[in-house]
Amino acid sequence: MNIDRKQVEVFMVASFLIKNHGYRFVTLHQHQDEIWLGNASNMEFPVIRISSSTTESVFFDRNRILQVHQAILKVLRREGRLLDLHISNETEVETDPDFEQVVLNQGELYGKNISHYFPLIRNAITPFDDPKEEFARLNRELEDVQAARRKQKRKLSPLGKLKATTVIIVLCVLVFGLDHLISSVGNYMISSVSVALGAYYRNAIIVYHQFWRFITVGLHHLSIWHLLMNMFSLRVLGPQLEESFGWKKFLLILIFSTFTGSLLMYVVDTTPFAVGISGGLYGCMAAYFVYAYSRGLFRVGAFRNAIMQTLFLNLMINLMPNVAVSAHLGGFLGGLLISFFLIDYKPWQPMKKHAAIAAMVILIFLGYRGITEKKTATLYYEDLEMIEIYRDAHLDGLARHLSEQAAEYYQIRIGE
């Protein structure tokens, strides 16, 4: 097998991306001067083509390159731009609307500065003497890397494989089961059980000052259809945000959006009772839009189509009866707000300080208005049954405390 220096350099860059950034060989295709890599976890460039040809040659091979790119995206089940990386002596690169062309020339990058995404890629090509010997060495290194990855995968315990998305889904399913179990065994209304266990209940916030319900509302769903619809949405959005932001930031986005959705509903709406993680899901959708914009994904036609379909579906959901539109809006705005600060996007850095001040003013205003504005509550059956549930669970101190608060507010004594 004849190996020239350019082929080794292409293989060096591929090896660098495989070892340091989680890429894998997708196909070597039939062209000896190119290598295709894929990484479903990389939202900026899930597909990379590395070639020793010049950027000018792409003009004659453009259709084939785009076809291979789309085929690999289908396998990865991802959307994203193609990074077309050329190892050549060029110093000028023409822009292309369908993929990103970059030249790596003797340690210098021309075109898009991808060192922000792949630090040290400028140093991926190192000096070598014998191309065949260097090619064999790189092969041995990659075999060791693959073996180590397989060994590490076998070592992972089932708990180690759990992601935040899975944990949230399991929690929602468990709470759903617990709500219905207590309702069935104790012959309580399902809404009363949900209220007792943390659903959004306007009276509980006004009368009993239980502001933590702004967040715990997300764990409760009354119908199996509502649960399945929200869990499906979470299963779609969650992994993408975990890969883009990390699981800690994903949880922060979800919780903060649920909070802002509930807060806006409390301030501007009179809805007495609400359940569901929809506000948090709208925040996750907004966060993904922010991430996609910062990475230039909106320039990809297939991604734009998918986004338009998602927006249309969610707008239609808002037209359904018994949907808290204010919670969805508050969650979406909360997701936009927090993801703006969490995203690492240099052009936005100068604006973050001023945006933070504005955001704090808005949140403080909403919180102040929610706490101080005179709001009235009407006594519902859920108030009575919630206290009864606590008594039946032998939480007598809590039941007595809530009964006293209710008596003071409603001017009526709830039976001991």
pLDDT at res. 157: 45
List, in sequence order, every residue forming a beta bridge with 85; answer none if it has no partner. 50, 102
Cβ-count burial 329-363 (b if 16+ within 10 Å, e if not): bbbbbbbbbbbbebbeeeeeeeeeeeeeeebeeee
pLDDT at res. 161: 55
pLDDT at res. 159: 44
Span between the terminal Cα atoms of the chain, in Å? 90
Taking 70 as the threshold, does the pLDDT of residue 17 lie above it?
yes
CATH number of the domain at 373, please: 1.20.1540.10
Q: Does some domain include residue 242?
A: yes
Q: Does some domain include residue 406?
A: no
pLDDT at res. 116: 81
pLDDT band for position 160 (50/70/90)? very low
Q: How many residues are recorded in the chain?
A: 416
* Angle between helix 325-342 and helix 349-372 axes, rounded to 10 deg: 150
Average pLDDT value for residue range 208-215: 92
pLDDT digits (tens, 9 = 90+) for 272-282: 899 999 999 99
Higher pLDDT, 78 or 9: 9
Taking 90 as the threshold, does the pLDDT of residue 314 lie above it?
no
Higher pLDDT, 363 or 303: 363
pLDDT at res. 410: 79
Average pLDDT value for residue range 212-239: 91
Least confident of 117-121, 122-126, 273-277, 301-305: 301-305
Residue located via tokens 């189509």:
305
Report the C-alpha gap between 193 and 186 in whole angstroms: 10
Which pair of structure tokens corresponds to residue 203? 């009276």
Q: Which residues lie below 8 Å from residue 120, measured CB to CB, with a gap of 6+?
A: 16, 20
Q: Does some domain include residue 399?
A: no
Residues 271 and 137 occupy one common structural domain: no
pLDDT at res. 37: 92
- Answer whether 137's CB lies under 8 Å from 145's CB: no
Residues 225 and 284 occupy one common structural domain: yes
Report the C-alpha gap between 37 and 25 in whole angstroms: 5
Q: Does some domain include residue 407?
A: no
Most confident of 181-190, 309-318, 336-345: 181-190
Taking 70 as the threshold, does the pLDDT of residue 374 lie above it?
no
Domain that holds residue 269: 161-378
List, in sequence order, every residue forming a beta bridge with 103; answer none if it has no partner. 86, 110
Taking 70 as the threshold, does the pLDDT of residue 209 lie above it?
yes
Q: Which residues lie below 8 Å from residue 178, measured CB to CB, with a gap of 6+?
A: 197
pTM of the model: 0.65
Domain final residue, candidates 155, 183, 199: 155
Most confident of 28-37, 98-107, 407-416: 98-107
In single-letter form, the type of residue at position 347 comes to: P
* Angle between helix 247-268 and helix 278-294 axes, rounded to 10 deg: 120
pLDDT digits (tens, 9 = 90+) for 22-56: 898 886 555 667 899 998 878 788 999 999 888 88
Residues 322 and 361 occupy one common structural domain: yes
pLDDT at res. 352: 76
pLDDT band for position 138 (50/70/90)? confident
Residues 356 and 284 occupy one common structural domain: yes
Q: Does some domain include residue 405?
A: no
Least confident of 128-137, 295-304, 336-345: 295-304
Residues 104 and 220 occupy one common structural domain: no
Residues 308 and 353 occupy one common structural domain: yes
Residues 146 and 40 occupy one common structural domain: yes
- Answer whether 218's CB lies under 8 Å from 279's CB: yes
Cβ-count burial 93-106 (b if 16+ within 10 Å, e if not): beebeebbbbbbee
Share of the chain above pLDDT 90, in %: 28
Residues 347 and 364 occupy one common structural domain: yes
Residues 76 and 180 occupy one common structural domain: no
Q: Does some domain include residue 304?
A: yes
Query: Rounded to the nearest 5°, which phi and psi values hold at 25?
Result: -65, 130
pLDDT at res. 173: 96
Closest by CA to 307, choosing from 325, 326, 328, 293, is 293
In single-letter form, the type of residue at position 327 comes to: A
Concatenating the DSSP letter of every residue in 257-310 gives HHHHHHHHHHHH----EE--SHHHHHHHHHHHHHHHHHTTGGGSHHHHHHHHHH
H or E element that contains 384: helix 381-392
Domain final residue, candidates 155, 185, 204: 155
Q: Does some domain include residue 207?
A: yes
Residues 252 and 281 occupy one common structural domain: yes
Sign, CA dihedral 391-397-398-402, equals positive
Report the C-alpha gap between 382 and 16 in whole angstroms: 61
Total number of domains constituting the chain? 2
Taking 80 as the threshold, does the pLDDT of residue 369 lie above it?
no
Residues 345 and 207 occupy one common structural domain: yes
Which pair of structure tokens corresponds to residue 178? 């617990």
- Answer whether 253's CB lies under 8 Å from 286's CB: no
pLDDT digits (tens, 9 = 90+) for 244-286: 888 899 999 999 999 999 999 998 888 889 999 999 999 999 9
Residue 60's Cβ-count burial label (10 Å; 0-12, 13-18, 19+) is exposed
Which pair of structure tokens corresponds to residue 54? 């010049």
Q: Does some domain include residue 385?
A: no
108-111: long-range pairs with CB below 8 Å, 24+: none
Higher pLDDT, 278 or 364: 278
Residues 43 and 183 occupy one common structural domain: no
Taking 70 as the threshold, does the pLDDT of residue 86 lie above it?
yes
- 414: DSSP letter: P
Q: What is the chain's mean pLDDT, rounded?
A: 83
